[in-house]
């Protein structure tokens, strides 16, 4: 489960396009930020997470946040200023077991597109040629179709799919998507058979105005995921404030929708006991000004994390690591696991140690070199996580038996996964 939003420049405080996403996945699934430089490719084939596709001769530099086991990413931005986030959606069409993952389509579109409209074209062509599907879960089976929020400095699009059928809508001002279909009757582009297919399947009555969400969505699953509540909450938060980078962090940290643990209604999602439970395992905010400014947690739970700035160009980034980002995720996760059971004290520590550093990073982003600021951000936050972990170990747990038991089981699973380097054993 995830939430993604965009605020175009005409609607933001600083006149620049803002993008934000929380990636909600299995709580024990590490996710880290990776930089891939611009490249020339000699091979005719590209091997994604689970499928071979045609390779492009040239690919853009990209910065993406991706789960440890997959080729593609949950969210990311290219050197061309194209930014994309994807969502799992649940539709009446069956999900193929051998299609492209939505995260792989996202990375391919970032690597090959010149602007947002071009990225839309690439994604729908990929769906038509290779299909979408495969197991998107880490330690469990999870099959779904995808929606995408795609933006550049001037424009943004929502693309929603059901197997090979799709519709697209241009964004006016701002938009938010979640794990439900949001495009109804206002469709700007679409698959040529999207209406006739719905008519043939008896999902849409011939002669009536076509509504994609009403025709194709599995309503019960979408409602059970809390997606509509989260999407409405994101939009209301955007409408309440003048959006800038700092307020984008606030949106992704919001808990206004439900109980703290185990609720699918919170934008910042904390796992807990229940039939379905996801957790925000990574967060990203992108500001598409004259230069591309990316802020990442590289850790779970944005309400307990520090957003850190990253910059990149065609051939290098300011990230202070390459593959070691998973270690940072794991180091911060030690604190987060303690904090989930001791929330009151954890929030005090976050306000005392994390918030001042984040505000300092925002203040100094125009005054220090990009490499130095990013390096200091990760180093200082690593040390803060260790300090807060030490302080929090002495605190009494605040939760009841069921929450405590749930997290004891998750911690044991996390150690087992870590022992095998978080290798995915289920087929994709």
Q: Which residues are catalytic?
A: 2
Cα separation, 130 vs 332, whole angstroms: 38
Residues with Cβ within 8 Å of 352's Cβ and at least 6 positions away in sequence, in order, are none
- SS3 for 299-328 is CCCHHHCCCEEECECCCCECCCCCCCHHHH
- Both tokens assigned to 299: 């850790």
What is the CA angle 316-15-110, rounded to 5?
Answer: 35
- SS3 for 142-190 is CCCEEEEEEECCCCEEEEEEECCEEEEEECCCEEEEECECCCCCCCCEE
Pairing of strands 189-190, 165-170: antiparallel
Residue 136 near residue 143 (C-beta atoms within 8 A)? yes
Rounded to 10°, the helix 370-392/355-364 angle is 170
Q: Count H helices and E strands in the chain, helices first.
A: 12, 18
How distant, in Å, are the alpha carbons of 26, 71, 238, 322 from that of 325?
18, 15, 30, 7
Residue 288 near residue 12 (C-beta atoms within 8 A)? no
Residue 13 near residue 174 (C-beta atoms within 8 A)? no
3-state helix, strand, coil in the chain (%, to 5): 35, 25, 40
Three-class SS of residue 120? Answer: helix
- SS3 for 27-91 is CCCCEEEEEECCEECCCCEEECCCCEEECCCEECCEEEEEECCCCCCCEEEECCCCEEEEEEECE
Minimal CA–CA distance to 76: which of 47, 106, 37?
106
Residue 318 near residue 308 (C-beta atoms within 8 A)? no
Minimal CA–CA distance to 400: which of 259, 299, 268, 278?
259
């Amino acid at each position: 489960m995830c939430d993604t939003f965009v605020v175009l420049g005409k609607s933001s405080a600083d006149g620049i396009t803002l993008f934000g996403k929380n990636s909600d996945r299995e709580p024990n699934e590490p996710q880290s930020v990776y930089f891939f430089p611009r490249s020339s490719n000699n091979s005719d084939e590209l091997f994604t997470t689970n499928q071979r596709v045609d390779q492009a001769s040239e690919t853009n530099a990209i910065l993406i946040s991706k789960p440890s086991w997959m080729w593609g990413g949950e969210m990311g931005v290219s050197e061309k200023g194209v930014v994309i986030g994807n969502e799992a959606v649940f539709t009446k069409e069956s999900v193929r077991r051998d299609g492209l993952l939505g995260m792989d389509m996202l990375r391919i579109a970032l690597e090959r597109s010149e602007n947002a409209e071009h990225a839309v074209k690439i994604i729908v062509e990929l769906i038509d040629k290779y299909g979408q599907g495969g197991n998107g879960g880490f330690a469990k089976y999870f099959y779904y179709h995808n929606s995408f929020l795609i933006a550049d400095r001037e424009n943004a699009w929502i693309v929603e799919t059901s197997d090979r059928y799709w519709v697209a809508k241009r964004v006016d001002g701002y938009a938010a998507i979640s794990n439900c279909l949001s495009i109804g009757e206002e469709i700007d582009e679409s698959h040529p058979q999207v209406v006739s297919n719905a008519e043939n399947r008896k999902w849409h009555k011939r002669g009536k105005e076509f509504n994609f969400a009403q025709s194709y969505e599995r309503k019960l699953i979408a409602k059970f995921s809390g997606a509509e509540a989260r999407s409405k909450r994101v939009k209301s938060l955007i409408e309440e404030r003048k959006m800038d980078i700092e307020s984008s962090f606030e949106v992704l940290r919001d808990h206004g929708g439900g109980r703290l643990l185990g609720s699918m209604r919170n934008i910042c999602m904390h796992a807990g006991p229940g039939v379905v439970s996801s957790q925000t395992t990574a967060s990203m905010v992108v500001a598409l000004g004259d230069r591309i400014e990316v802020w990442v947690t590289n850790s779970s739970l944005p309400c307990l994390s520090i957003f850190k700035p990253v910059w990149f160009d065609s051939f290098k980034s300011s990230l202070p690591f390459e593959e070691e980002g998973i270690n940072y995720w794991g180091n911060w996760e030690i604190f987060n696991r303690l904090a989930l059971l001791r929330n009151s004290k954890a929030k005090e520590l976050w306000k005392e140690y994390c918030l001042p550093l984040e505000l300092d990073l925002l203040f100094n982003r125009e005054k220090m070199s990009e490499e130095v600021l990013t390096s200091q951000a990760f180093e200082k936050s690593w040390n803060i996580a260790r300090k807060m972990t030490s302080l929090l170990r002495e605190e009494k747990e605040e939760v009841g038996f069921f929450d405590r038991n749930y997290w004891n089981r998750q911690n044991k699973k996390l150690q087992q996964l870590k022992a095998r380097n978080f290798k995915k054993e289920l087929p994709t």
